[in-house]
């Protein structure tokens, strides 16, 4: 019983994964189907990103040329849009 409680409440592995995500600002350069976008970062990279669930829920529109905040995956190849500036 105690091992289960430690797994549920005390391990903290989920919070460590969330801490590894880096937030960076970029500009939307292409809109793709299913709320996917191509975003150009300040260093010139272009990433494939998707719209975060809360932004879908509140129907926040993202258009070409919008400046957005992207939360990068740990490997840095993909991401999700978490804020429209």
What are 23-73's pLDDT values in tens digits?
999 999 999 999 999 999 999 999 999 999 999 999 999 999 999 999 999
Neighbours of 48 (CB within 10 A): 13
Neighbours of 7 (CB within 10 A): 10
For residue 34, tell me if it sits in a domain: yes
Please give the residue range of the domain that contains residue 59: 21-84
For residue 15, tell me if it sits in a domain: no
β partners of residue 38: 30, 48
Cα radius of gyration (the chain)? 16
Residue 76 belongs to a domain with what CATH number? 2.40.50.140
Task: Please count the structural domains in the chain.
Answer: 1
Query: pTM of the predicted model, to two decimals?
Result: 0.74
Phi, psi of 58 (to 5 degrees): -90, 5
Rounded Cα gap, residues 26 and 33, in angstroms: 19
What pLDDT sits at residue 8? 52
10 pLDDT above the threshold of 60 = no
């Amino acid at each position: 019983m105690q091992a289960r409680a430690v797994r549920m409440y005390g391990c903290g592995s989920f919070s460590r994964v969330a801490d590894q995500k880096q937030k960076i600002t970029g500009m939307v350069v292409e809109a793709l189907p299913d709320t996917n976008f191509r975003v150009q970062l300040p260093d010139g990279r272009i990433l494939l990103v998707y719209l975060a669930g809360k932004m879908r829920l509140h129907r926040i529109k993202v258009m070409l040329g919008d400046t957005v905040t992207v939360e990068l995956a740990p490997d840095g190849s993909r991401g999700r849009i978490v804020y429209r500036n």
